Chains A and B, each alone.
Chain A
């Protein structure tokens, strides 16, 4: 059994008194590409936030690389939903990507030349090197998403978390994002929240359905019912196959 990168044991989490996640037990191993799906309000983003230590579980524990998440944050690259950001915020694409290596800032507030080089490399990887000086707010959905991916990659994380990276992009941009993830999955563990079951079934090695409880599926166990919002345990398709 390989060493678990992420270990969640008997976790409960609630906002005020509403129980969002109950008795969650998950192990994720180094190098896996995990897809997370589930209904709205099922706790997908909450699970990501627990992994980064922005939220604390009511019960149970989360371990990242065998340690509490707060101490391991530097190894995490996080790609939030584009829609969350202020379009009017005065920030260029390069400045955005540089925020991914804020910890390398010198005491007087400047970035070392090496860091700026790294940011440009990350932008080249996502194909945005020609628009480094453009304001972030003027980018299209697909470009903005790729810029955020570059920001997550610039610190060379070993764990990449993506929250619906294909939610607000056109089909061409979606294809490009998946191609990029294909290249990255050799180098890092990827956890991606998505509503696009059809694509993720072909891409991910394992899927987690987050619906208050968390259930792990092999891609072949994913049933068409899920896309309609009818989630059920993996037991069922097996029985059907046997029949």
Chain B
């Protein structure tokens, strides 16, 4: 298929299908969050930690789904479990980074697989057919609802606000923790805050079924041009294009 024709097809499909428009909006909103947080993830070299957080959420989702179905706790959604599991594993990961730097790698991998294993166990225990859980983990951008977009947009605003205030401090701990400590920055607190932001982004991006959380890791490598603030928008554009491509395939 030639490129102009495929673009024309895409815009035609976009104008005729409201769900595609929602998907595009979700892609844009998600790309802002993942662009911002993904940048820190790459320069701080915590890709593996972020991957571990992203995968260990399955444990929390599985547990909540099991509680909901088995004990009939209706208000509990897999998203609640995912959020709690992500924050817990972020804090645990931060603690390991601060206390056991030498064995960090191994422990992160263990949390990754343990989280997923717990998830799989609960899926097996949960009565019924559990296609829902896998959709939370891998997602489908075409399922996005208007409420999801509102939530994504508010997440973007909160992230933007935190990053605007803390950007230089985050940059300082990413570049040189010792220098930041000499200047009496709360290095450990900032590191934990950063991991929690990663956790929240990972969970909320997977919620409307967008799979961009996984792509955030690659952005900076592809679009490397300092300083950080200037290329957040490049990356946003990049991920919008990813989203275009994704839909075109559909």
The residues of A with any CB-CB pair to B shorter than 8 Å are 52, 54, 73-74, 76, 78, 80, 85-86, 88-92, 95-96, 98-103, 105, 107-109, 111, 135, 137, 151, 155
Contacts and interface: CB of A to CB of B under 8 A. Distances in A.
A95 B178 contact: no
B167 A99 contact: no
Interface in B37-89: 43, 45
B7 interface: no
Interface of B: 43, 45, 164-169, 171-172, 174-176, 178-185, 224-228, 231
Contacts of B172: 99, 102
A73 B186 CA distance: 13
A99 B171 CA distance: 9
Nearest to B170: A109
A222 B183 CA distance: 36
A16 to B, nearest CB: 9
21 contacts: A52-B182, A73-B183, A80-B176, A80-B178, A85-B175, A86-B175, A88-B224, A90-B225, A91-B171, A91-B226, A92-B226, A95-B171, A98-B168, A99-B168, A99-B179, A101-B183, A102-B169, A102-B179, A105-B168, A105-B169, A109-B164
Nearest to A101: B183
Main secondary structure of the interface of B (DSSP, over half): helix
Contacts of A109: 164-169
Given A99-B183, A109-B167, A155-B183, 4 more contacts: A88-B224, A91-B226, A100-B183, A102-B172
Nearest to B179: A99
Nearest to B177: A54
A73 B224 CA distance: 34
Contact of B181 (A54, A85, A137): A54
A71 to B, nearest CB: 10
Given A92-B227, A95-B171, A74 B178 contact: no
B182 A74 contact: yes
